[in-house]
C-alpha cells in the first residue's frame, strides 16, 4: 500500500515550490517563550487502526520561529506521525482532529503550498526529543499552522483514548549561529523474502542536485522503519571518504531512534549519502514497502547545514546480489532533487 505520509515526497516536492525568505536586519537576542500544545485525545475501539486523520495547531506567530528543540510525548497507540508546518491560509478550519480528505490535506499539497518539516515521530515512540546544539535552528515562517498526518493502532482488548503533546523551544534571531535545512531519503525498493535476511541500499548523489558547492554538515538524523528491521546505516557516498560512517542504529521500534551527530559530519568532497536498512524475516510471507505495521519502510530525515533543501527517493529494485554472509542485498537507484531553503 502506498503511504501518503512518507517523508521524502514531502521534501522532494517542497524543493520544487519553496520560496526563500527575505532577510531581516533586526537583531533580537531576547528568547521567546516556549510553545506548548496538547492535541485532543483520539478514541480507538479495540483493534482499531487510524490512517486518514489529521490534527492541526495554528501557531498565531506574527514573526518567524527559530526552532532549537521540539519535545514530543504521546500516549499508547501512536504508531507513527509526521508533522509539517504550512501557511495558515492553507487547510483552513477549526484546530483539533479532522479527516485529512475533508480539507484535501496531503503532505504533497502541503509541500506545494510552501510547507516544511516540523517533526517526525519514530515508530511507536512515546517520548522523543529533537534537540539541536546551542544556536542551531530551523525556520518556521510567520503565520504558520502545524498539521500532523497521524497513524494510530490499538492492539489492546480495551477502548483507548490517547493524545500527543509538543513542547517547542525557539530562540531569538540574534542567538542563531547555524541554520539547518531538511534532507530526506526514502527507499521504497523493498521485497523481503520469507526466512531471509535482506539489506536494501540506495545511493543519493546530492552533489548534482545542489546549488553551489556541496559541502553540508550533518547535525541530526532520524531513521524510520518497522518491526522486521535490524537497523539502519548511513554512510558517506563518493569521494575519498566513501563508506565512512555518518550514523548507525540497531534500535527497535518503540524507541526514539533519532539523535544529534556530535561532532557534525561534513560531506565536503562527497557526492551524497548511502543508506542501508537490514531486515530479518522469519515468516513465510514476502514483505514489501507500505504503511501498515506488517509492511516495512526505509526512510531517513536529516538536518544539515547549507543553503539547500535536499530530497532523494528510490522506488524499484534495480539489482539483487547475495553478500558473503548470505544476506540478500537489493540496490535501488536514487533520484535526488534540491533547491534553496529558508534563511532567517
Mean confidence (pLDDT) of the chain: 88
Planar angle of CA 152, 153, 156, nearest 5 degrees:
140
Which residue has cell 517520548? 127
How deeply is 309 buried, as exposed, middle or buried, from its count of CB atoms within 10 A (0-12, 13-18, 19+)? Answer: buried
126 confidence band (pLDDT: 50, 70, 90): very high
The CATH number of 181-340, from 3.40.50.620, 2.60.120.230, 3.40.190.10, 1.10.15.40, is 2.60.120.230
The CATH number of 7-178, from 3.90.1300.10, 2.60.40.1180, 3.90.1150.10, 2.60.120.310, is 2.60.120.310
Given a cut of 70, whether residue 32 has pLDDT beyond it is: yes
In angstroms, the CA 280 to CA 328 distance is 10
Per-domain boundaries in the chain: 7-178, 181-340
273-298 pLDDT, tens digit per residue, is 999 999 999 999 999 998 776 789 99
Q: pTM of the entire structure?
A: 0.84
3-state secondary structure of 63: coil
Q: Of 309, 219, 308, 214, give the one whose Cα is nearest residue 264.
A: 219
Q: What is the helix, strand, coil percentage profile of the chain, to 5? A: 10, 50, 40
141 confidence band (pLDDT: 50, 70, 90): very high
Count CB-CB contacts under 10 A for residue 105.
23
| 25 Cβ contact partners less than 8 Å away, ≥ 6 residues apart | none
Q: Is the dihedral of CA 25, 169, 80, 152 positive or negative?
A: negative
The pLDDT score that the predictor gives to residue 3 is: 41
Fold match flag (7-178 vs 181-340):
yes
Amino acid at each position: 500500500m502506498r503511504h501518503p505520509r512518507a517523508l521524502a515526497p514531502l521534501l522532494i516536492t517542497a524543493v520544487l515550490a519553496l520560496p526563500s525568505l527575505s532577510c531581516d536586519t533586526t537583531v533580537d537576542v531576547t528568547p521567546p517563550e516556549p510553545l506548548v500544545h496538547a492535541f485532543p485525545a483520539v478514541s480507538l475501539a479495540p483493534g482499531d487502526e487510524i490512517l486518514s486523520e489529521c490534527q492541526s495547531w495554528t501557531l498565531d506567530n506574527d514573526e518567524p520561529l527559530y526552532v532549537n528543540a521540539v519535545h514530543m510525548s504521546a500516549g499508547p497507540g501512536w504508531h507513527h506521525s509526521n508533522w509539517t508546518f504550512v501557511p495558515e491560509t492553507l487547510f483552513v478550519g477549526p484546530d483539533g482532529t479532522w479527516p485529512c480528505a475533508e480539507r484535501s490535506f496531503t503532505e504533497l499539497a502541503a509541500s506545494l503550498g510552501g510547507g516544511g518539516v516540523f517533526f517526525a515521530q519514530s515508530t511507536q515512540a512515546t517520548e522523543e526529543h529533537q534537540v539541536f546544539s546551542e544556536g542551531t535552528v530551523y525556520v518556521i515562517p510567520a503565520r504558520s499552522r502545524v498539521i500532523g498526518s497521524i497513524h494510530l493502532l490499538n492492539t489492546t482488548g480495551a477502548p483507548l483514548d490517547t493524545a500527543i503533546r509538543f513542547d517547542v523551544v525557539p530562540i531569538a534571531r540574534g542567538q542563531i549561529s547555524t541554520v539547518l535545512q531538511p534532507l530526506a531519503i526514502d527507499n521504497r525498493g523493498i521485497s523481503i523474502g520469507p526466512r531471509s535476511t535482506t539489506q536494501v541500499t540506495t545511493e543519493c548523489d546530492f552533489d548534482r542536485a545542489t546549488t553551489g558547492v556541496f559541502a553540508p554538515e550533518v547535525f541530526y538524523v532520524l531513521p524510520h522503519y518497522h518491526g522486521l528491521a535490524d537497523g539502519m546505516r548511513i554512510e558517506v557516498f563518493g569521494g575519498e571518504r566513501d563508506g565512512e560512517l555518518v550514523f548507525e542504529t540497531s534500535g527497535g521500534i518503540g524507541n526514539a531512534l533519532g539523535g544529534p551527530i556530535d561532532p557534525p559530519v561534513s560531506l565536503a568532497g562527497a557526492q551524497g549519502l548511502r543508506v542501508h536498512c537490514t531486515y530479518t524475516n522469519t515468516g513465510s510471507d514476502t514483505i514489501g514497502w507500505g504503511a501498515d505495521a506488517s509492511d516495512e519502510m526505509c526512510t531517513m530525515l536529516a538536518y544539515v547545514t547549507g543553503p539547500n533543501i535536499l530530497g532523494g527517493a528510490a522506488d524499484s529494485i534495480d539489482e539483487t546480489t547475495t553478500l558473503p554472509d548470505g544476506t540478500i542485498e537489493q540496490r535501488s537507484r536514487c533520484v535526488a532533487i534540491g533547491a534553496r531553503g529558508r534563511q532567517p
